[in-house]
Structure 1
Amino acid sequence: MKKILMLGGSHFQVPAIIYAKKAGYHVITADYLPDNPGHKYADEYHNVSTIDEKKVLQLAEKLRIDGIVSYASDPGAPSAAYVAEKLSLPGNPYESVRILQRKDLFRGFLKSNDFMVPETASFRDLNEAKEFAASRLEQKAIVVKPADSSGSKGVTKLLTIDDFDHSFQNALNYSIAKIVVVEDFIEKAIYEMDGDGFVWNGKLVFRCFGNQHNDLECNPYVPMGISFPYIQEKAIQQKAHEIIDSILTKLNMKVGGLNIEYLTDKDGNIYILEIGPRSGGNLIPEVIKLSTGVDLIAYSIEGAMGKDCTDLRMTETNGFYSSYILHAKRDGKVKSINIDAEIKHKIVQQNIFTKAGDAVKKFDGSNNTLGTFILKFENQDEMIYYLDKMTDYISVELF
């Protein structure tokens, strides 16, 4: 029986672990959180940090694995690429994955290859960062973010220099590399695009773009839901596809799921914000499967195990689907989970991770997810209406 090492075991990784088991693989999970829900579905679990590349390699060598994947997890992606490269397993070039996973390296790559990129710089030192920030704030708002955090943690938009010290330290706390990126804020024309794709032999062979919805009261950069299809006109989406394809080709990417984010400004310029070298969280692959019939979880696992993925093709969406992330607007204790009767019949799937009496944190990062929903709507207008107001229909009441 072939062995697959899966880095992580969070709620968002459970579907991939279950798929690998059903596909007949011996599934090994690894991370530093033994209570993560995914581990109980695996054949074996090892307490090894997914960001410790050398220890993950030692584990992979000891277990004689046939494939490795960091599904829906940014921090583990470089380790997966490192192991795949060292053991000649299916995967992507380690340096290319590092570039995609690190915002500072990715911005540098985009700039040096003449792609659109906001004015940006990366720092370890507060004073140097503050000087740059002050110069940019004379012209426009800025965004301060960790170079390599996951789940949109540690990101702040600033209009003045007043709160810069706190924002810098907050970003630094979430950065594994202890690097903070400071860049111009881009005023988007429509919803930020958030979706998934799949790379095969250097080409973006499939992608499904969606609308990112945010709870502005919690954190305007943490998705509370993604709805499909994307409302942007098809010609602009195709242009974005071609830009992403060019980036993947230049980086010599080979195989695997991708989580992609881009935005378009009021002048029509397309800024590729992220191409995460792994499938997306927030149930994006699951919603895409309902929307298109394409099973990105299957392709991610089978691609990592060396299967041929040449049959994967672009497929248009059919219907109107979304994910929704249950969350709290502040710290507190759960009194109840409220689901309005008006929305109940639109729920296709739900999974609630919390109960009355539990202490919960404000939704300032995906790590504070309290549950997940998939919903189906009659049309685009209805979908957009409900997603933008979903906290009125599905909410957490606190003591």
Structure 2
Amino acid sequence: MARRALILIEGHRGNGLVYVQAAQHLGLHPITLSADPSRYDYLAAESIEAIRVDTDNLDALIRECSRLRATYDIAGITGFPIPGEWVYATVGRLCQYFDLPGPNPESIERCLDKFTQRQLLAEAGVPQPTYRLAANAAEIESAAAEIGLPVIVKPAVGSGSSGGVRLCRNVEEVAEHTTYLLGGQHIWRSSPRILVEEFAQGPNCGPAIMGNEIIGIGAVDFGDQPHFVIREYIYPALLTDDEHKRITNISLSCLRALGLGWGPTCIEFHLTKRGPVVIEVNPRLGGMPDPQLIQLAYGIDLITEHIKLVIGEEWNLRKRHSHTAAARFLFPDRDGILDWIDGDSRAAAVPGVAEVKLYVEPKTPIVRKGDGRAAHVGHVIAASPSLAQTHATLQRAVDLIGWSIRPLPTLGE
């Protein structure tokens, strides 16, 4: 009998190894197809089978999967939103071709175009910020003036805070970010299309969804503006019964409007004075540490349950307990060269701490660019039966971690 394999399109710095390990635990042989397998350190470190293939080329992926099918029983195909969320549409087309469970690629593509997403949500009466589409500097300037400052300026197709999202508080910041987006620094996969949106002010939160089931609603605290770099995640969010009900109902409306409802979805809300407003719908599992926080808070292993869905097996989203879980990201306070960083072992020994991870080694250049991957130097995750206890545990652990950054050498040094 042929060995059952799970095909993973591309990888993920945070969740990739967890998917690999969950697949192995389910008796599957994980195989990664990637344009550059070397970008995912865990593949070589764990001796995971990886094949170099152009993941932008659907025909090349079909040929490779067909070749693998001569040796393996391909039980399922899924992927990661790195290097882009377009991977999920590709996964959907591969699943259709090989008659495997998977997302609807047309729904994914409509969702990934943020302007199309906005239009479909508007038609369904979903509350969202005022928005305009722009293609050049003059249209961006005009849209910002019409909506009223401050505004969010971002690509119509993109992923997360690393995708060129910025709060522009005045005309100078609008012009500066326009130059960044249109001046060659931002990488476009197609013709430049930019969304200018009202800045919907209020706390940030969002549900984790699998299929049509809302598992939990988490809260997100961002660091300093104008860039949106996450400082802290927490599950569950501290919401009133009315806020929870409204977010739940609006989330289900989003799924219907966008033709989603298979597999994972995460939706970003801002709690404004007029109520919950949808910032963005992403047809994917939340990035690290979302799945880990959900497992700590509710006892649900989302990654394992997602793989079960992908391979056509019965899944189980039953909550086993109700705790508070939170992750705090560690930010450098200046640019420069990291001389030293330590305290992680002491922090990990604090009761209630689930994980401490440092992302950088000494002598690493630190350059804060508003990109979460560049700004964070590590994270701490903690969980307990209460919000107060979890926050206290996090703070105690974070206080034990220290580092020193010396200035970058100047020209001539």
Shorter-chain TM-score above 0.5: yes
Aligned CA distance change for structure 1 residues 94 and 162 (closer, same or farther; 3 Å): same
Report the CA distance between 1:116 and its aligned residue.
1.1
Aligned mates of 2:51, 2:264 — CA distance in 1: 24
User: CA 1:343–1:25 in 2, change beyond 3 Å: closer, same or farther?
Assistant: closer
* Residues in 2 aligned to 1:27 and 1:225: alpha-carbon distance in whole angstroms: 31
Matching of residue 296 in structure 1 with residue 306 in structure 2: no
Q: Could you report, residue by residue, the CA deviation over 1:280-324 in whole angstroms, capped at 9, with x for unpaired residues?
A: 112110111011011100111111112233x434x3862221123
Alpha-carbon spacing, 1:351–1:392, altered in 2? closer, same or farther (3 Å): closer
C-alpha distance in 1 between matches for 2:17 and 2:347: 30
Q: Percent identity?
A: 20
Report the equivalent of 1:221. 228
Deviation for aligned residue 1:70: 2.0
1:183 to 186, 194, 197: 197
Corresponding residue number in structure 2 for 1:18: 21
Name the counterpart of 2:217: 209
Amino acid at match of 2:354: V
Contact map agreement 1:149 1:176 (CA 8 A) in 2:
no
CA pair 235-175 structure 1, distance change in 2 beyond 3 A: farther
The answer on whether the counterparts of 2:269 and 2:277 sit within 8 Å (CA) in structure 1 is yes
Letter aligned with residue 62 of structure 1: R
| 1:196 pairs with 2:198 | no
TM-score (structure 2 length as normaliser): 0.83
Count matched residues.
Answer: 387
Aligned partners of 2:347 and 2:398 also within 8 Å: no
Report matched runs for 1:240-255 at 5 Å.
240-255=247-262
Cα 1:253/1:163, change in 2 over 3 Å:
closer
Aligned partners of 2:332 and 2:36: how far apart in 1?
23
The Cα shift of 1:47 comes to: 2.6
Using a 3 Å threshold, how does the CA distance of structure 1 residues 110 and 283 change in structure 2: closer, same or farther?
Answer: same
Residue 380 of structure 2 contacts residue 398 of structure 2 at CA under 8 Å; is this kept in 1?
A: no
* 1:244-263, Cα deviation, whole Å (9 max, x unpaired): 11222344435212222111
User: Does 1:283 find its partner at 2:283?
Assistant: no
Taking structure 1 as reference, are residues 350 and 48 closer, same or farther at Cα in structure 2, changes over 3 Å only? farther
- Say if 2:323 is the partner of 1:319: yes
| TM-score normalised by length of structure 1 | 0.86
Letter in 1 for 2:189: I
Separation in 1, partners of 2:216, 2:142: 40
User: What residue number does 1:353 align with?
Assistant: 359
Q: How does 1:1-399 map to 2 (within 5 A)?
A: 1-12=3-14, 13-35=16-38, 36-40=40-44, 41=46, 43-64=48-69, 65-71=74-80, 73=82, 74-137=85-148, 140-153=149-162, 154-171=164-181, 173-177=186-190, 178-188=192-202, 191-199=203-211, 204-216=212-224, 220-268=227-275, 270-309=276-315, 311-313=316-318, 315=319, 318-339=322-343, 345=350, 346-362=352-368, 364-368=370-374, 369-377=376-384, 379-381=386-388, 383=390, 394=401, 396-399=403-406
Note the C-alpha offset of 1:382: 5.1
The structural deviation recorded for 1:390 is 8.8
CA contact (8 A) 1:78 1:97 kept: yes
Would the aligned equivalents of 1:332 and 1:398 in 2 still touch at CA under 8 Å?
Answer: yes
Distance 1:186 1:393 in 2: 36
From the CA coordinates, give the structure whose radius of gyration is larger. 2
2:159 maps to a residue whose letter is S
How far 1:130 sits from its partner (Å)? 2.0
- CA positional deviation for 1:76: 1.9
Whole-angstrom CA distance in 2 between matches of 1:386 and 1:169? 43
Instruction: Please tell me whether the aligned partners of residues 214 and 248 of structure 2 are also in contact (alpha carbons under 8 angstroms).
Output: no
The alpha-carbon distance between structure 1 residues 380 and 129, as it changes in their structure 2 partners (threshold 3 A), is same
Q: Using the alignment, how far apart are the partners of 2:180 and 2:394 within structure 1?
A: 29
CA 72–386 in structure 1, closer or farther in 2 if over 3 Å, else same = farther
* Structure 1 residues without counterparts, runs of 5 or longer: none
Give the partner amino acid of 2:146.
Answer: S
- Please state whether the residue corresponding to 1:118 is helix, strand or coil: coil
Q: Is the 8 A contact 2:112 2:158 kept in 1?
A: no
Range 360-369 or range 224-233, more displaced: 360-369
Counterpart Cα distance in 2 of 1:316 and 1:235: 25
- Indicate conservation of the 8 Å contact 2:126/2:253, yes or no: no
